[in-house]
């Protein structure tokens, strides 16, 4: 079953086509990886799906629901959540509070309750806290224990990435978008996080994973799409894509240019 569908999506910044006539779909319960050299439009694609930018052309559907051009908060409520390559935790809020904010789409609370805290809300808050802790304990003790009440800016970058994943998961999203979750991690940590992302998929989540390193996604993805200059240059199994001549060219081209 297709949970997310993107049709002829284009985003132009001035004369630059950051995403160019891109179509693909995400099946329920799979990991779809988006690879491509830096600047190939991967993050822009996420910004389009989550409503941060309106697309220049094209449509985005969540199941059969047209979500093109909706505001980011509406899209979050519809069930698409993401992490950020540039790390956007709430730095001075505690780790627990960060996850509670992530849970907002599924917390029912009116202004009266916010102000007067009736007993029903106390119970609700307790449940929310318990749920947040259980989500955070997915990463062992890295984010739990006394750390729960530490501000997010006391965390290492790797732990901030883990926190962003927990924050995104907190509202049980239908689609989870992960933007380079392994960036800045050492090879061992990368391997570990890829394994954990697979575990998240096995719980039933549908995931789009951005990574610029083909090697990292190989083991984790069901399917891979390669982008270059905003265009899809290859799609298929990890093996097919990694052997695709245009993918090799895109990456080798980069390397040659780098070495020169």
Ligand X SMILES: Nc1ncnc2c1ncn2[C@@H]1O[C@H](COP(=O)(O)OP(=O)(O)O)[C@@H](O)[C@H]1O
User: What is the binding site for other proteins (CB under 8 A)?
Assistant: 13, 43, 47, 50, 52-53, 71-73, 75-77, 81-82, 84-93, 97, 100-102, 104-105, 107, 109, 111, 113-117, 121, 125, 150-151, 153-159, 167, 171, 183-186, 189
Report how far residue 49's alpha carbon sits from residue 58's, in angstroms, rounded to the nearest whole number: 11
| Binding of residue 50 to Mg ion (CB under 5 A) | no
Residues that contact Mg ion, how many (by CB under 5 A): 3
The answer to whether 34 and 238 are in contact (CB under 8 A) is no
Cβ contact 27:221 at 8 Å: no
Which window, 35-43, 97-105, 133-141, 165-173, contacts ligand X (CB under 6 A)? 35-43
134 binds, among other proteins, Mg ion, ligand X, none (CB under 5 to 8 A by kind): none
Q: Which of 39, 72, 184, 236 binds ligand X (CB under 6 A)?
A: 39
For Mg ion, the binding residue among 33, 43, 50, 242 (CB under 5 A) is: 43
36 binds ligand X (CB under 6 A): yes
Whichever of 156 and 237 has its CB closer to other proteins, that residue is 156
Question: Which of 2, 13, 112, 195 is the binder for ligand X (CB under 6 A)?
Answer: 13
Rg (CA), the chain: 19
Nearest residue (CB) to other proteins, 23 versus 154: 154
18 binds ligand X (CB under 6 A): yes
By CB under 6 A, residue 38 contacts ligand X: yes
- Strands across the sheet containing 223-228: 80-82, 175-179, 206-210, 31-35, 223-228, 231-236
Does 41 bind ligand X (CB under 6 A)? Our answer is: yes
Closest approach, Cβ 106 to ligand X, in A, equals 29
Residue 64 Cβ vs ligand X, minimum distance, rounded to whole Å: 27
Strands (E), the chain: 2-13, 16-27, 31-35, 57-62, 65-66, 80-82, 175-179, 206-210, 223-228, 231-236
Q: What is the dihedral of CA 16, 21, 22, 23, to 10 degrees?
A: 170
Q: Among 256, 244, 201, which residue's Cα sits nearest to residue 35?
A: 244
- Which residue, 13 or 112, has its beta carbon nearer to ligand X? 13
Tokens representing residue 145 in the block: 């224990």
Q: Can you tell me which residue has the tokens 């069901």? A: 222
Residue partners of 189: CB distance under 8 A and separation at least 6: 158, 182
**42 touches ligand X (CB under 6 A):** yes
Binding to ligand X by residue 44, rule CB under 6 A?
A: yes
Q: Which residues bind ligand X (CB under 6 A)?
A: 13, 16, 18, 36, 38-44
């Amino acid at each position: 079953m297709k949970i997310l569908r993107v049709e002829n999506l284009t985003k132009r910044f001035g004369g630059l086509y950051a995403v160019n006539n891109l179509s693909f779909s995400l099946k329920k319960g799979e990991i779809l990886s988006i690879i491509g050299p830096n600047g190939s439009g991967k993050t822009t694609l996420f910004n389009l799906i989550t409503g941060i930018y309106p697309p220049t052309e094209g449509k985005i559907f969540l199941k059969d629901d047209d979500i093109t051009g909706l505001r980011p908060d509406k899209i979050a409520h519809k069930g698409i959540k993401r992490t950020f390559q540039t790390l956007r935790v709430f730095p001075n809020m505690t780790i627990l509070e960060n996850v509670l904010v992530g849970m907002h789409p599924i917390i029912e609370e009116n202004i009266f309750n916010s102000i007067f805290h009736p007993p029903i809300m106390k119970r609700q808050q307790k449940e929310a806290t318990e749920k947040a802790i259980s989500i955070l304990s997915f990463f062992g003790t890295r984010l739990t224990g006394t750390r729960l009440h530490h501000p997010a800016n006391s965390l290492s970058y790797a732990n901030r990435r883990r926190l962003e994943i927990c924050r995104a998961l907190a509202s049980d999203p239908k689609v989870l978008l992960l933007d380079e979750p392994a960036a800045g991690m050492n090879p061992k940590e990368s391997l570990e996080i890829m394994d954990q992302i697979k575990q998240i998929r096995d719980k039933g989540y549908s995931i789009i994973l951005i990574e610029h390193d083909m090697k990292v996604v190989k083991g984790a993805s069901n399917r891979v799409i390669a982008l270059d200059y905003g265009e899809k240059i290859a799609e298929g199994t990890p093996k097919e894509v990694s052997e695709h001549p245009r993918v090799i060219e895109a990456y080798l081209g980069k390397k040659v240019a780098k070495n020169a």
